[in-house]
A and B are shown apart, each in its own frame.
Chain A
Amino acid sequence: MSLIAVSGLLLTSCSEEFLDAEPQSFFTPGNALNTSEGLNSLLSRALVNVRAEYYGDGAPMITENIFSEVAIEGTTDKAGPAQDLNLQILPDANLNSGNTNRIGWFWENFYENIKFANTVIGRIDDAEFDSPEQRSDVLGRAMFHRAYAYYRLTHQFGDVPLVLEEVTSPRLDFVTTHRDVILDFIQNELNQAVNMVSENSNGGEVNKGVVLHLLTKVNLTQGDFTEAITTASQLIDGGKYALMTQRFGSSAGDAEKDVTWDLHQVENKSLPGNTEVILAGVDRLEFRGVGSAGNGTSVMRQATPLWWRFINTPDGQNGMSDEPNITIDQVNQIGRGIGRNRGTRYSTIDVWQDANNDERHKLGNWLDMEDLVYNAPSLEEAGNSFYGQNLELYLPDGTSLCADTIRNWYGFPRYKLFVADPTAVKPSGGHGDWYIYRLAETYLLRAEAHFWNGDNASAAADINMVRQRANADPITAADVNIDYILDERTRELYYEENRNTELSRIAFIFAKTGRAAYNGQTYSLDNFSQKNFWYDRIIEVTDFYNIPNLKTVFGVSFTMSPFHALWPVPASAINANTQGRINQNEGYPGVENNIPALTTIPEPEKDS
């Protein structure tokens, strides 16, 4: 037969390159962290976490509030929210949920920010910079973020692991470092960073003023009160910042309002004319999904009472409705609150006893439940005489018209909580900027430093700067003590400051200095988890943890112990660290496995 030729294609892969499929739609450290822009992007990511504390459903800042005297968890229709703290605050409970608490969120996100900072610091020499100033600005801001995270962690959790390098291979042998070592370290770094970080920056970015504000807090917690006065004064007297005392911004022309109102409208917080803002989280509707914070502040949902249900008229009819666009539309005025962050009697009534002309408690800026009106359309239809009348809590015989006064009945600062929510049918609090550091707090920090230094006159002067701007009555040196400073912080910084961290800082100062507190007690670091000012203060002034047999409508009690001054280290961190020992805080299961915390800075880990 014939000879037949057959041909075919035989494939061989003679090159290893065939298998090198490069990632196309994402960057890797190898190709993107060797530029100043790459490193800066890590630091911007750290700011995403800093901002996130103030935003969203069950915002982490609420946990800071409920672990203090200004608020409690007001979700009363179920078990799970952080109310019965003795029962619920455990290392292996769900510590990162809007329905429980955000203790785990702080742990995870602050350590994530430490990673960003460590990565930038470790790779700073890999990148090229336009100028030495640019390099030192990036490096200084990385040091700020590391210090910010450790400042918070050492007040929330006490002694924690000190990680100072980017960890690029599996490591499971971490141990806990004493908080004094960590605070010494970050105080030293912040002192360097003050001279490295540029004076001016974009709004929302870390600059020298931001570093000084944090350094003031660190100086205070270290007991370096004179240094704290120095750093605070650099901010206050530097010429760049000043309290806002004149009407400004979007509401400047509204004669009904005042400067206190102007100051807290989200659209005014980052205005060029606002000299009071030191650091704001920037969040705008038009950047939703591409830079904004999730679904926005959600602040009205979180902190406004659940006013739209279970409130009866004096003639026993349902009084309230959260329907929008009805004849008396209240939901668009104050939002559809769920009362998660429930202000205590202390923060909503007691600190306002002598408010007089204080704008922060002026009707309209502040709303008590009696300022709302019965608005249910069913009342309107029935021609009920209470329709449109102000709410009442009691009948003349004392019968309560609201079955759940925890969740449904308390006053709130509308001037702070109102954030328009144009894409929601029932507003929760939309996108808007939020203060993270504001000069009013710097004044109150300096006042505190003066107080600790025994200079009550200077302290009173600083406090009066804040009070007078709000048209509140000035005080005298004789009025100044920690009780008053905490009260003034509540009035000025409610739903703004990190209340648990700051209260804890003061408790540590009492324990460290051994100074007698206004309540007659003295404290020591030796038994901090058994006796501390943090716990005594909360029990002294709040009306929940200190009332026996108080129960939510569901039946949960409010309990708290001194050891809650330090939160439990999440079990996940301890369990995964199989070759070392991360200590648990006293009072929580697992503490028996602790080993002594390091008292020196740990040696850098050698990568194998």
Chain B
Amino acid sequence: MLCLTLLFAFTANAQSEFIVTGTISDEFEAPLPGASVLEKGTTNGVSTDFDGNYSITVSNQNAILIISYIGYGEKEVPVEGNSEVNTSLEPSASSLDEVVVVGYGAVKKKDLTGAVAQLDATKIASQSTNSVTDVLRANIAGLSIGNSTSPSGVSNIQIRGNNSITASSAPLIVVDGFIFNGSLADIAPQDIDKLDVLKDASSAAVYGARGANGVILITTKRGTSEKPTITINTSVGFAQDASNQRPYSADQYDDWRVDVFKSSRGNVAAENPGFFDDPNNLPNGLSLDDWLAYDGGQGNPTRVWLNRIGFQDVESQNYLDGKSIDWYERINQTGFRNEFNTSISGRKGGLNYYWSIGRQDNEGITVGEEFEAIRSRLNLDAKINNWLTVGANVQFAKQDTGSIPAQRLQIIRSSPWGSEFDAEGNIRLSPQDDNGAGAVNAFLRRDFSDRVDLDHAFNSRVYAKVKLPLGFSYELGYANRLEFREFYDFYSQASPANLVGSAVRDNRKINEWQLDNILRWNKTIDKHAFDLTFLVYAEKFRSFRTIGRANTFEPSDALGFSALERGTIQTIESEDVTTTGDAYMTRLGYNYDSRYLINFIMRRDGFSAFGADNKRAYFPSASGAWVISEENFFNSSFVNFLKLRLSYGENGNRNIGNFASLSRLAAGNFLNTDANGQAIQVPTFNNQTQENNDLRWERTRAFNAGLDFSFLDGKIEGSLDAYRNITDDLIIERQLPNIIGFDNVITNLGEIENKGIEFVIATQNINKENVQWNTNFNFSLNRNRINSLYGDLDENGNELDDLENQWFIGEATDIIWGRQETGIWQSNEADQAAVYGVSPGDFRILDVNNDQLLDVQDNVFQGYRLPRYRWGLTNSFTFFKNIDFSFEIYSNWGQKRLFNLAKSRDGFIDRTNFWQTPYWTPENPRDDYARLFSNDGSATFNVYRDASFVRLNNVTLAYRFPKRIIEKLSMSSARFYVNGRNLAVWAKDWDFFDPEPVTIEGRSDGIAPNVRFFTVGLDITL
């Protein structure tokens, strides 16, 4: 299986060593702890301690030290035989000297050749964030993050558009060099030092087969000073329903229900004018007796009326008694949130340590909705001697999602005139005795269930770095993920919804390892700097799952899921998965005088899921950059830095499911009877997929051209990127005629193109002693096009579209195609509407060929599901040195979203409540919403609405306590802040909940509440 080769290396240290010590300070001569001191042309470096002191052993007396610190200009100081070198750094607005992680290595931002975006810890610290995805949202051009409403706060991510049709387009996440396949909710935002996003293929090519959707590299914090640093972050806040969408109140409910019946029983209403009207408000000329006589009604006319509009007896009685329930108030809540994180970090001798532990406890906006996470991280780096460094990054996370929320759907299902309890005080199954319409007590599951839903994840990486002679170094890394997921659930027989109790135990263990062998060579010869990286990598993933179920417990279900064996009906299932992968990668970087930069990468990947004949593939890339501003001829006091980047790279995508190439026999059971008529189980097989031994990697070839610039000493800095990604060998579910017994096969076909522009600019607008103002702006657009699909041609030689999947040659994957509504038929158009089998108040559909038949020939293109443009804008201010204020706005523009709610017939609106939404009536005609219970007639169609929006997402006001107060309290810093997220959204044409969908593509109506968060917090560093 695996062959392990022992590598021996010998190193001789022959040169004359020389020790240099000194102190690094800032412009005010205050010591700078954690500043980097590097011997130029080597990887030999140290950082300063809490008092700004350092000690470094350099190779000779003529070495040059490179001193750097984030936010300060880099400085080169020749040693010139001095054993003590002290210097001070000047602050810099530029971020060009910041170190960017690029996968299996790091470079300075100014030396990058690919499109890489970075977010640093200070940015994260200034916002109150729930999750890693909150950090990324709107801060990086080309990154799309889905909306999140859950208490855990993790959303979908997509980089530079959808490169695939069926494979996942989620980016690869790498944490401290370890490919992270776990849940993003396991990573505490407070532990993050830096986030780097590899957007173009040449950058992502180091991850080859995993890199096609981009890579997000997360670097966690390290100790920075010799004195132990303790940080404490606490915050409390609340979450509330930000939408103004409400169900019909008790007062509105009967009038609305009358309209429902007038429309859904239009024939009755037409034959019996006024039949559904309130007897206290009958139409002119209709007497109460005539009205009653329609159906022989007697007694209390109101009761007769309520009976006609479908009120159940319990509703009628409560209506007459004036007893109503506001289910929105009962089910919706303001969720309390609190978070506590603490960390201790520092450096002692060769040991660098960072340890954090934190707890997050978030309530959602539904009663009982709760998320609890405990996370801890330990980062240790030990420099044993001057050639060996070992370390470990260990992360533990526990997520508890076992709380059972009230059923939020009941806000619109349960009648305000229902009853929650019966005369004996027992909880009733359905407030309006109509569980068939989905109206059940919202709290049944909560009151009669017992649930454990826990996830324990241990992620760790241990490594050893060995410095070898001649500029070589070797790193061995072993990463392991061990995760336990437990879901135990019991639903008691005591619930009025149940006649028997039921329980399930679902256990899953996931274990995965990754082994990295990295050999690096760094050599600087005069102005030539070489950087060579070799990687040998292997991984193995195993998952084991067991699900046991039982119901109908004897003698009782009192033991719940803890005694499945008491169930008279028991079933068990298991599912195990193993996948393996390997890779070799070589990267060669060449840097001439920081002027000409070239990077070559070749990676070979193997993955077990691919067809037997195509398990492996090669992914090359090349990139180069020219720092124009370093040229002798370039002489500008305005432009400080100007770099042109060009890159080409190929990446793969392997997210296709683990056994997509195999023909799978789905196993099941059937029943026979034996000679006594007793049922016996017999096994069944379904050969439901075709085998595809040729299934191969999806491959993206990407070109990127970029320009990085810095003007006015870094006061204006930014970059412009243009890219074109061509993905071919697309892994898609090719539609087959279903007469072969299934309707698709997973295969490689076709080609998709994504091209786009990204623009980022950061400006320092004001930099006075008492006022600083910085602005960050990013803009991106992406255009997507299907170049080819299956290669089937029509009689004219044009390639055929895939109508079943709605994929069209020359169009985007997110294009909307179908019959198009063009408004509502009005009362005077009854005859025209009747042609299509509908009535006034129903949607009018475009009859393209005017054949009075609405079929596939009337389908038209109607726009796109994904935004045509995105932008984000962050402004941050500092007043009087200790007040920070920032706000963030972002916008997605030009996308359309499914909105079939405009058909006004979701659910059983003649038996339940619903959201207050506009609807057409003869008296209040409109053109955007159909009549209640509208009729599609002969047409199959969807309604789409423009979902363009601008959101005020994040506003933070913070106060940093002045030094004199802090020093009295023996702290090194203290900060108090107030933060609001999702404060306002303005949408062009969307007025139902939030315009931004939870999934990135708006394929669902999305009846999801929109959550707004307020947080106050205190950050203290000791």
**Are the chains A and B members of one assembly?**
yes
Bound Cα distance from A426 to B429, whole angstroms: 11
Contact B2 A272 (CB under 8 A): no
In the complex, whether B255 has a CB less than 8 A from a CB of chain A is no
Contact B677 A377 (CB under 8 A): no
Encoded as 1 (CB less than 8 Å from any B CB) or 0, chain A from 75 to 103 comes to: 00111100010011010111000000000
Partner of A425, one of B496, B575, B659, B740: B496
Contact A78 B574 (CB under 8 A): no
Bound Cα distance from A323 to B313, whole angstroms: 11
Taking the nearest CB of chain A, how far is it from the CB of B844, in angstroms? 15
In the complex, whether A135 has a CB less than 8 A from a CB of chain B is no
Contact B264 A316 (CB under 8 A): no
Contact A555 B267 (CB under 8 A): yes
Contact A26 B745 (CB under 8 A): no
Contact A571 B856 (CB under 8 A): yes
In the complex, whether A353 has a CB less than 8 A from a CB of chain B is no
Per the 8 Å Cβ criterion, residues 568-595 of B in contact with A are 568-569, 571, 574-582
Taking the nearest CB of chain B, how far is it from the CB of A357, in angstroms? 30
The count of A-to-B residue pairs whose CB atoms sit within 8 angstroms is: 391
Contact A18 B580 (CB under 8 A): yes
Encoded as 1 (CB less than 8 Å from any A CB) or 0, chain B from 828 to 871 comes to: 00000000010100000000000001011100000000000000
User: What A residues does B675 contact at CB under 8 A?
Assistant: 272
In the complex, whether B940 has a CB less than 8 A from a CB of chain A is yes
User: What B residues does A93 contact at CB under 8 A?
Assistant: 938, 940
Bound Cα distance from A553 to B582, whole angstroms: 66
Per the 8 Å Cβ criterion, residues 24-56 of A in contact with B are 24-30, 32-33, 37-38, 40-42, 44-45, 47-48, 51
Encoded as 1 (CB less than 8 Å from any B CB) or 0, chain A from 426 to 441 comes to: 1000000100000000
Counting chain A CB atoms within 10 Å of each CB, which of B270, B679, B910 scores highest? B679
Taking the nearest CB of chain B, how far is it from the CB of A146, in angstroms? 12
Q: Looking at chain B's contact residues, is the secondary structure mostly helix, strand, loop, or mixed?
A: mixed
User: What A residues does B934 contact at CB under 8 A?
Assistant: 79
Contact A37 B937 (CB under 8 A): no
Q: A403-B268, A553-B267, A578-B800 are in contact. Are A44 and B665 (CB under 8 A)?
A: no
Encoded as 1 (CB less than 8 Å from any A CB) or 0, chain B from 664 to 708 comes to: 111111111111110111111111001100000000000000000
In the complex, whether B796 has a CB less than 8 A from a CB of chain A is no
Contact B1 A573 (CB under 8 A): no
Contact A573 B739 (CB under 8 A): yes
User: What A residues does B1 contact at CB under 8 A?
Assistant: 15, 17-18
Contact B671 A115 (CB under 8 A): no
Partner of B687, one of A7, A115, A283, A577: A115
Bound Cα distance from A27 to B684, whole angstroms: 11
Stretch of A105-113, A483-491, A518-526 that contacts chain B: A105-113
In the complex, whether B265 has a CB less than 8 A from a CB of chain A is yes
Contact A77 B670 (CB under 8 A): no
Per the 8 Å Cβ criterion, residues 927-967 of B in contact with A are 933-938, 940
Contact A172 B571 (CB under 8 A): no
Q: Looking at chain A's contact residues, is the secondary structure mostly helix, strand, loop, or mixed?
A: loop
Contact B582 A203 (CB under 8 A): no
Partner of A1, one of B12, B737, B937: B12
Encoded as 1 (CB less than 8 Å from any A CB) or 0, chain B from 1 to 39 comes to: 111111111111110000000000000000000000000
Contact B737 A172 (CB under 8 A): yes
Bound Cα distance from A155 to B747, whole angstroms: 35
Contact A376 B313 (CB under 8 A): yes
User: What A residues does B5 contact at CB under 8 A?
Assistant: 9-12
Interface size class of B (residues with CB under 8 A): 35 or more
Contact B517 A573 (CB under 8 A): no
User: What B residues does A253 contact at CB under 8 A?
Assistant: none
Per the 8 Å Cβ criterion, residues 265-291 of A in contact with B are 270-272, 280, 282-291
In the complex, whether B77 has a CB less than 8 A from a CB of chain A is no
User: What B residues does A322 contact at CB under 8 A?
Assistant: 433, 436
User: What B residues does A304 contact at CB under 8 A?
Assistant: none
In the complex, whether B741 has a CB less than 8 A from a CB of chain A is yes
User: What A residues does B317 contact at CB under 8 A?
Assistant: 378
> Which single residue of chain A is at the shortest CB-CB distance from B819?
A92
User: What A residues does B295 contact at CB under 8 A?
Assistant: 312, 316, 399-401, 403
Taking the nearest CB of chain B, how far is it from the CB of A480, in angstroms? 36
User: What B residues does A51 contact at CB under 8 A?
Assistant: 670
Counting chain B CB atoms within 10 Å of each CB, which of A21, A283, A286, A321 scores highest? A21
Taking the nearest CB of chain A, how far is it from the CB of B735, in angstroms? 4
Q: A41-B683, A403-B265 are in contact. Are A167 and B741 (CB under 8 A)?
A: yes
Bound Cα distance from A114 to B12, whole angstroms: 75
User: What A residues does B307 contact at CB under 8 A?
Assistant: 312, 317-318
In the complex, whether B474 has a CB less than 8 A from a CB of chain A is yes
In the complex, whether B615 has a CB less than 8 A from a CB of chain A is yes
Encoded as 1 (CB less than 8 Å from any B CB) or 0, chain A from 109 to 135 comes to: 001101110010000000000000000
Per the 8 Å Cβ criterion, residues 256-282 of B in contact with A are 264-268, 270
In the complex, whether B1002 has a CB less than 8 A from a CB of chain A is no
Q: A25-B576, A168-B691, A309-B310 are in contact. Are A573 and B265 (CB under 8 A)?
A: no
Partner of A24, one of B266, B576, B665, B743: B576
Encoded as 1 (CB less than 8 Å from any B CB) or 0, chain A from 137 to 168 comes to: 00000000000000000000000110100111
Contact A170 B499 (CB under 8 A): no
Contact A119 B549 (CB under 8 A): no
In the complex, whether B971 has a CB less than 8 A from a CB of chain A is no
Bound Cα distance from A79 to B298, whole angstroms: 32
Bound Cα distance from A84 to B837, whole angstroms: 9
Encoded as 1 (CB less than 8 Å from any B CB) or 0, chain A from 176 to 213 comes to: 00000000000000000000000001111100000000
In the complex, whether B66 has a CB less than 8 A from a CB of chain A is no
Taking the nearest CB of chain B, how far is it from the CB of A50, in angstroms? 10
In the complex, whether A515 has a CB less than 8 A from a CB of chain B is no
Contact A26 B606 (CB under 8 A): no
Partner of A21, one of B658, B669, B685, B745: B658
In the complex, whether B879 has a CB less than 8 A from a CB of chain A is no
Bound Cα distance from A114 to B803, whole angstroms: 26
In the complex, whether A395 has a CB less than 8 A from a CB of chain B is yes
> Which single residue of chain A is at the shortest CB-CB distance from B857?
A589
In the complex, whether A582 has a CB less than 8 A from a CB of chain B is yes
User: What A residues does B938 contact at CB under 8 A?
Assistant: 87-88, 90, 93
Contact A290 B292 (CB under 8 A): no
Bound Cα distance from A44 to B11, whole angstroms: 70
Encoded as 1 (CB less than 8 Å from any A CB) or 0, chain B from 895 to 939 comes to: 000000000010000100000000000000000000001111110
In the complex, whether B325 has a CB less than 8 A from a CB of chain A is no
Q: A45-B668, A554-B266 are in contact. Are A174 and B739 (CB under 8 A)?
A: yes
In the complex, whether B1016 has a CB less than 8 A from a CB of chain A is no
In the complex, whether B388 has a CB less than 8 A from a CB of chain A is yes
User: What B residues does A336 contact at CB under 8 A?
Assistant: 436
User: What B residues does A338 contact at CB under 8 A?
Assistant: 436
Partner of A48, one of B499, B668, B745, B839: B668
In the complex, whether A254 has a CB less than 8 A from a CB of chain B is no
In the complex, whether A576 has a CB less than 8 A from a CB of chain B is yes
In the complex, whether B294 has a CB less than 8 A from a CB of chain A is yes
Q: A8-B466, A80-B936, A589-B853 are in contact. Are A41 and B684 (CB under 8 A)?
A: yes
B-to-A contact residues, CB < 8 Å: 1-14, 264-268, 270, 292-299, 303-304, 307-308, 310, 313, 316-317, 387-388, 429, 433, 435-436, 464, 466, 468, 474, 476, 496-500, 515, 517, 536-538, 549, 568-569, 571, 574-582, 606-609, 615-616, 658-659, 662-677, 679-687, 690-691, 734-743, 745, 747, 790, 792, 800, 803-804, 837, 839, 853, 855-857, 905, 910, 933-938, 940
Cross-chain pairs A/B with CB under 8 angstroms, 29 sampled? A1-B12, A6-B387, A11-B2, A12-B536, A13-B3, A19-B582, A21-B608, A48-B670, A92-B855, A111-B740, A112-B741, A116-B687, A167-B690, A170-B745, A202-B673, A203-B673, A203-B674, A287-B679, A289-B549, A291-B670, A309-B310, A316-B296, A395-B296, A403-B268, A424-B499, A425-B498, A571-B856, A582-B737, A589-B855
For the complex of A and B, the 5 pairs showing the least CB-CB separation, nearest first, are A115-B741, A203-B673, A316-B297, A79-B935, A202-B672
Given A41-B682, A312-B295, output 4 extra A-B contacts at Cβ < 8 Å. A7-B6, A42-B684, A108-B738, A425-B496
